[in-house]
Amino acid sequence: MLTGRQKIIYTNNSPDTLHALHMNLYVNAFRKNSRMHRYHEERDKYYGGSLISYVPEAYLGYSKVQNIRDELGRLLSQREDDTLLEITLAEAIPPGGVCTLTLDFEVKIPAQIRRMGRFNREGVSFSIAQWYPKLCVYDHRGWHKNYYLAREFFGEFATWDVSITLPAHYIVGASGHLTNADNIYAMMMSEPESTSMDRVLPSNGNQDSIPEGVESLQRNLAEITRQQSVTVPNRTWRYHAEDIHDFAFAADPDYKVEMFDHRGVRVNLLCLPDVEQRWAPMKEWVTKIIDYMEAHVGRYPYPELTVAQAGDGGMEYPNIVFITGRRGNFSLASVTAHELIHNWFYGLLANDETHEAWFDEGITSYYTTRLMEHLFGRYANREYETEFQKKWFPREDARIATFTGWAHWVKQGYEEPVLTHSDYFKSDPSYSMATYYKGQIFMNALEYRYGRERLDSLMRDFFEVYQKHHTLTDDFKRFLEYKTGEKLDSLFDQWLNTIEYCDYGIAHITNSKNAAGQNQVKVKLVRRGAITMPVDLYLKLTDGSWTGVRIPARHDDPNKPGLKRWTEWPASDPTYTLTMITDLPVDRAEIDTSGRLPDIFRMNNRSGFLPKTEWHWQRPLGILPTADTYVIEHRPSLWYNQTDAARIGWKMRGKWATDEHQIKAGVYAGTRSRTIDYEITYSTPMYSIGRQVFVDMASYKLDGVFQNELSFRKKWFGGAYERPPYYDVSLGLRTSRRFNSTYLNPGVFWEKGDVHVLTASLQWQPQIFDSPRLKMTVETSTFASDYTFTKADLTYYKPWVLKRNVATLESRIFAGLADGNVPLQDQFYLAGASPRQMFVNPWYRSGGTLPEKGWRDASGQRHIYYDGQGSMAGYADSNALGMHIIAINLDLKLTNPLKPLIKKEILFITQFEPMLFFDAGGVSGKSGKRRHSIPSLVFDAGCGFRYLPAFIPSWMGNYAIKAEFPLWVSDPSLAGQSGKSWAFRWLIGFENAIR
Ligand SMILES: [Zn+2]
């Protein structure tokens, strides 16, 4: 419980008479049934709802205000509504008038839920923000009364004197300047070393259907109770601050403090002992961040700056930032940079974050990227932790990642205007794409427009004039207009108020001789998007030299150093032809070589039929393409099967930055078979047709099969982006023929002849976590097929969480029906995947790749297993197949019993997931040459485990090895070792993702 007394001296700087004052009581958001609670219950229902639902009443929070009196001691009436409080004044405040209020408040500090609270997930005792009754802003737009829904803030500048009294062993970091420092440090020195208490440091457990943080929250509740019972003497920390608009503090008994002075600023770094090592470079980063911001934006005008390990991610407050500490190097550097940079924008330019979040987040993100490039270089400045990774993924680049992430979003049609109220974006990704990403992109567009030097000088001037004032996007626009003499309405409007896009392209170049015999080049340009921008066009002459021109979109567009100014491209014209006399013919033309023009389709920014292409040796994670390069990675390939023997080949894959036009291809030669095989696949999202539409094509001749495929897929989301229910529909055509059967594994049947089919499938998933899933497929033979048939199947899967993180029962039903003449490779298999499904996986595709004995040992048992279809491992030896199938599979998945006992992850011991299974099923119906069906229902049961090799890093994909021991079968005549229901049978396979 926090009790406080607040005295406010309020000056009415507006021309209006104020009869009432409005305040925010943010902590009331942490009550059950608050607006924030309801907002997140509804908005995040597929993610488990609001965190508040998981916290017992005793650990929630509230804020209570009492005794509001004016300077004459009159008790004022108040009306509370969720996170807002209205105070009716006894006497109105005239323009220029001053009113003094005193009030008492009481805050029950909630467990850490959103931004503030007790015991965050890293164990910091107090992260105290948005805690006191805070005056709403009154400006020319009126009162800014926003209910707190967990997003942004807006507050009045003031002079502050704040005293914080806490038990003496706490170390505090806060906004403002500590005025009784000598006193406090002297007292602390004279005390015995550790007065702090042991704590439970929660780990980041794997939480499925409950919101992030619930688990650690619950563990911390016990600790809160324990600490509340401890009584120790108090100590008071006194702070003074001027010209800041919010006040936050963090406190913990175990904080390690590093203090230093940098350019007249006292910097305090506070972290818990367990992250001290990771925080070692913090001092260097913070000094470089301050230096960079002071050089490019303006001076940090306060005496102190604190970086505290606290909160629930990264959050900026004036003079103090809260950062969670358990992060990798780049993440820690970039969050620190981002939150500190906010002190220049949110802090000093004090925009209204609720209505114009981009003006803070977008500009801050733009400088964050610049700072990361400054600290670590243009490339490899994100994500990667080790030198090894840096070496292997050197193209990782925050600037391009921002651009491609955003371009992808725009092309999918999910964009919302940047200047949307923060609380009304359709989804969280939509909010961050508009404010962080597009805000940054807009700053890039300004840098493109002016060049960096000019933009920096404009920003410095703007900051100088507007710091310590509330600033709006419009102020920024008008300031630029005033400084440059340009009219910027259309620029700001198009980028910030609409979802139009920018796309320029080069149609063609022609070189010719004019009447005077000079070389004359004509470059035809096209504009496809509605947004108009100046076009920086670069021309490469045949001798390799470059020349550049700027084609203005408006008469008052600025000149850019190094570029000749050309004639205007009027907004009315979709095309433009530049005619120019050059010394030599022009070889190539390129629009914007800097990558700063936010042109969402950069492939056409270069002349020539083919886009700019780069070839690289393939790397595990792939090379990140730059925005205007098609990247092809290639590598040799070596494989083995019984027919080809060693198979030597060469593979390549190509990709565009926004996932368009993905090509994979390979050519292989069998050393024994002397045959040449090939495969080529092409897939691309079809943005022009609609959201989430993809086309896939494949053609191959591989291991005795010749096949061609074409399919269209479309995904639907239930509501906003990536919200369930999910639907996935595909339609396709497949022609295939096996012309060589010597490749087949023992016991795998595949009939020769043409099998041509039309396929349709539907998948459905109604929730995110613990969701049932349904998949239906229909296949029917088509023209020129040697087999005439129709088949349909259905898979329904549902998990039942018996006890979270302990036991889950996964149930599955598989049913199939077929009619006509179905080739053996396409019939239904009781035990596992059909031959056609196995063909997709190269390990299972052909004989000899996996040991032949595994497919059929001396006693007729199969040990290699590929899960799928009836999924009854107990009957793997029988190869039972047919025209009709029904199977029910129940898997009880358990946590490794050793896991709670062994704290550390130990390879080969803690990474096993045991399970028990029981299946029932049968196949029937005869078609074609053979009959393998079994007449009645059979059952099997056993145990097994999944092994998740954690030494394979997650970026390489998810691998799992599955072992199954079907110890009991109801019909032993179908299961190898005949006559025995109970026997030791074992099967091993790679996890199949069909489930
Ligand atoms: Zn931010």
DSSP 763-800: EEE--STT--EEEEEEEEE-TT-SS-EEEEEEEEEEEE
Boundaries of every domain in the chain: 504-604, 686-990
> pLDDT tens for residues 625-676?
677 788 899 999 999 999 999 999 999 999 887 778 999 999 999 999 999 9
Output the CA 95–ligand 1 centroid distance in Å.
Answer: 35
Distances (CA, A) of 252 to 111, 219, 275, 989: 15, 18, 14, 51
CB 358 within 8 A of CB 435: yes
**At a CB cut-off of 8 Å and minimum separation 6, what does 68 contact?**
75, 76, 78, 87, 101, 102, 103
> Between 228 and 170, whose confidence is greater?
170
pLDDT value of position 15 = 96
Output the CA 47–ligand 1 centroid distance in Å.
Answer: 23
Output the CA 843–ligand 1 centroid distance in Å.
Answer: 47
Q: What is the rounded CA–CA span in Å between residue 316 and residue 741?
A: 67
Output the CA 338–ligand 1 centroid distance in Å.
Answer: 6
Q: What is the rounded CA–CA span in Å between residue 26 and residue 37?
A: 12
Output the CA 616–ligand 1 centroid distance in Å.
Answer: 36
Output the CA 317–ligand 1 centroid distance in Å.
Answer: 10
Output the CA 447–ligand 1 centroid distance in Å.
Answer: 20
Backbone angles phi, psi at 786, to 5 degrees: -75, -15
What's the mean pLDDT in 493-502? 94
Output the CA 342–ligand 1 centroid distance in Å.
Answer: 7
What residues pack around ion ligand 1 (CB closer than 5 A)? 361
**At a CB cut-off of 8 Å and minimum separation 6, what does 598 contact?**
403, 406, 407, 441, 442, 444, 445, 448, 502
> pLDDT tens for residues 569-583?
999 999 999 999 999
Q: What is the rounded CA–CA span in Å between residue 208 and residue 767?
A: 12
Output the CA 797–ligand 1 centroid distance in Å.
Answer: 41
Q: Which of 532, 460, 545 is nearest to 501 (CA)?
A: 532
Cα distance from N-terminal residue to C-terminal residue, the chain? 50
Output the CA 364–ligand 1 centroid distance in Å.
Answer: 6
Q: What is the rounded CA–CA span in Å between residue 697 and residue 663?
A: 10
Output the CA 436–ligand 1 centroid distance in Å.
Answer: 8
Output the CA 335–ligand 1 centroid distance in Å.
Answer: 9
Mean pLDDT, the chain, whole residue set: 87
Whether the per-residue pLDDT at 763 is higher than 80: the answer is: yes
Burial class (CB in 10 A: 0-12, 13-18, 19+), 519: middle
Find out if CATH 1.20.1740 is the number for domain 686-990: no
User: Would you state the structure tokens that stand for residue 12, as one six-digit string?
Assistant: 């009415």
pLDDT value of position 614 = 87
Output the CA 725–ligand 1 centroid distance in Å.
Answer: 31
Output the CA 283–ligand 1 centroid distance in Å.
Answer: 21
Q: Which of 561, 596, 619, 556 is nearest to 389 (CA)?
A: 619
Output the CA 516–ligand 1 centroid distance in Å.
Answer: 60
Output the CA 564–ligand 1 centroid distance in Å.
Answer: 38
Q: What is the rounded CA–CA span in Å between residue 316 and residue 323?
A: 9
Output the CA 407–ligand 1 centroid distance in Å.
Answer: 21
User: Would you state the structure tokens that stand for residue 950, as one six-digit string?
Assistant: 């954690």
> pLDDT tens for residues 504-543?
999 999 999 988 889 999 999 999 999 999 999 999 999 9
CB 514 within 8 A of CB 567: no
Backbone angles phi, psi at 928, to 5 degrees: 70, -150
> Between 483 and 400, whose confidence is greater?
483
> pLDDT tens for residues 863-879?
999 988 999 999 988 88
Distances (CA, A) of 453 to 439, 448, 827, 844, 916: 20, 11, 69, 60, 67
Output the CA 31–ligand 1 centroid distance in Å.
Answer: 26
Output the CA 339–ligand 1 centroid distance in Å.
Answer: 6
% the chain with pLDDT above 70: 89
954 confidence band (pLDDT: 50, 70, 90): low
561 confidence band (pLDDT: 50, 70, 90): confident
Output the CA 212–ligand 1 centroid distance in Å.
Answer: 20
pLDDT value of position 907 = 55
User: Would you state the structure tokens that stand for residue 321, as one six-digit string?
Assistant: 């930032």
Output the CA 361–ligand 1 centroid distance in Å.
Answer: 5
Output the CA 152–ligand 1 centroid distance in Å.
Answer: 10
Output the CA 144–ligand 1 centroid distance in Å.
Answer: 21
DSSP 916-974: EEEEEEEEE---SS-----SS-EEEEEEEEEE--TTS-GGG----EEEEEEEEES-GGG
Output the CA 245–ligand 1 centroid distance in Å.
Answer: 16
> Between 933 and 618, whose confidence is greater?
618
